[in-house]
Structure 1
Amino acid sequence: MVDNLGFDRGAAVTRSLLGWGVVAGPFYLVVGLVLAITRPGFDVTRHALSLLMLGDLGWLQRTNLTLTGLMAIVAAYGIVRAVRSGRGLAMAVLTISYGAGLILSAVFPPDPVAGFPPGSIAGVVSLSGVLHLVFGAVGFAAVAAAAFAHAGWSRTIGAKGRARVSTILGVVVLIGFFAGAALSSGPAGVALLWIAVLAQFAWLALACSQIYAWSPHPIRSRREA
């Protein structure tokens, strides 16, 4: 809706929604790293950030993950508002699935590992831990698929470079998560999980910033209105 001054409120809302996709990654990483540095016994070279959900202060990381998931879902609504096509709907649905995966991973925390929380031993398997892995896998698979859908849309608008980057990030997310989960007990597995986390947020920021720039500017001239 464009007012008499040529300001398109709908376009402004769409861009605002997309902005949350850029904010989500830095928010999660900054909060997570602050918690990692301040939690006794936590070692970023041996422990995945999801382990911060355990212990007395675990609610802080659970809140961090939940808010990040909500930001992704809000950004997905911005995507479907901006890209009104089948690929836009696919990107949005997959991004919503990704955000839901993050939230559900926060609801079901992982199992402890040897040394974290302090005094814990390895080998404990619980339903919550299994569900954490399942929802994590769903979320990472969804964001990888969203990256591939975004690559397809980018090619249709002539942004072949962005399409290649999105495809690469999608592949990195898949390999990083599933290989990292298989090797999660060692430093190599933790490093791969870190790579997957960084790649997913890099894609979300890339896609939202691209769609933000591609979508109509909210301030329009009277002639355009």
Structure 2
Amino acid sequence: MATTATQPAPGTTTTVAPALSRTTTRSLLTVAAVAQPLWALVSLTQAATRDGYDITRHPLSALSNGSLGWIQITNFVLAGVLTVIGAGGLRRALRGTPGGTWAPRLVRISGFGMIAAGVFVMDPADGFPVGTPEGMPAALSWQSYAHFVAGSVTFTALIAACYVLGRHFGRAGLRRHAVGSRIAGTALLLGNGWAMGGGTAGTLTLAVGAITAMAWIASVAARCRRAL
């Protein structure tokens, strides 16, 4: 007995597949839009509530120490994982555009840096947690050095991602977004430089710069999601 193959309805493969791809991209962009702002929210909440913590003296990374340090460690790792995943949405949304290859790559690298910053905890210092001697330790542990390297990778990648996005928006004729990208990258560049140079309240300027850059990356992801 002869059999007759069932043919798909016209247009099925050309409409369903793009719809599924668009849904996946939107989901990934949602992850990218919430990942780093989530880290900032959890960090600032702890900064306002942890006993003995002073954001003008202690970096947000210091919150990984003490009995509640697991919260910040988890915060770093979770936000990093979400950033790595969310970068896939940016890659899909920006594919084929100026900066569309490197901006997502740099965002993903920043996510890996955040994961490493959670795994490797900086040493207690400068009176935090409560009971820690004032000033920096006489010698730093290897974990602390590894944390600083992870932080440098994260910040460098974020700064570069912002500048690449500045080029992307500039080429697209979106002047305000191009300027916003460069301002965000410069805020982190200057904040980190001030902190590394031992400037007054350097930990505060670093926090402001980092959160500014993170918020900008999140806003770009949200904008790409709305455009789909």
What's the TM-score once normalised by structure 2's chain length? 0.85
Structure 1 residue aligned with 2:4: none
Structure 2 residue aligned with 1:142: 157
Aligned equivalents of 2:186, 2:157: Cα separation in 1: 12
Q: Which is higher, the Rg of structure 1 or of structure 2? A: 2
Residues 2, 9 of structure 1: 8 Å contact kept: no
Aligned equivalents of 1:120, 1:111: Cα separation in 2: 10
Using the aligned pairs only, state the percent identity.
33
Structure 1 residue aligned with 2:119: 107
The structure whose RCO (Cα within 8 Å, separation 6+) is larger is 1
Given residue 33 of structure 1, which amino acid in structure 2 is its aligned partner? L
Structure 2 residue aligned with 1:63: 74
1:173 aligns to 2:173 (yes or no): no
Structure 1 residue 206: deviation in Å? 2.2
- Equivalent residue runs for 1:3-42 within 5 Å: 3=15, 8-42=19-53
Measured on the aligned residues, the alpha-carbon RMSD in Å equals 2.0
Residues 101, 135 of structure 1: 8 Å contact kept: yes
In structure 2, list runs of 5 or more residues that go unmatched.
1-12
What's the TM-score once normalised by structure 1's chain length? 0.86
Count of equivalent residues: 212
Given residue 151 of structure 1, which amino acid in structure 2 is its aligned partner? G
Structure 1 residue 210: deviation in Å? 2.4
Structure 1 residue 61: deviation in Å? 0.4
Q: 1:55 to 1:10 in 2, by over 3 A?
A: same
- Equivalent residue runs for 1:1-225 within 5 Å: 3=15, 8-85=19-96, 87-121=99-133, 122-124=135-137, 125-183=140-198, 186=200, 188-214=201-227, 216=228
Q: 1:178 to 1:2 in 2, by over 3 A?
A: farther
Structure 1 residue 21: deviation in Å? 2.2
Aligned equivalents of 2:79, 2:145: Cα separation in 1: 21
Given residue 19 of structure 1, which amino acid in structure 2 is its aligned partner? T
Aligned equivalents of 1:92, 1:17: Cα separation in 2: 12
In structure 1, list runs of 5 or more residues that go unmatched.
217-225
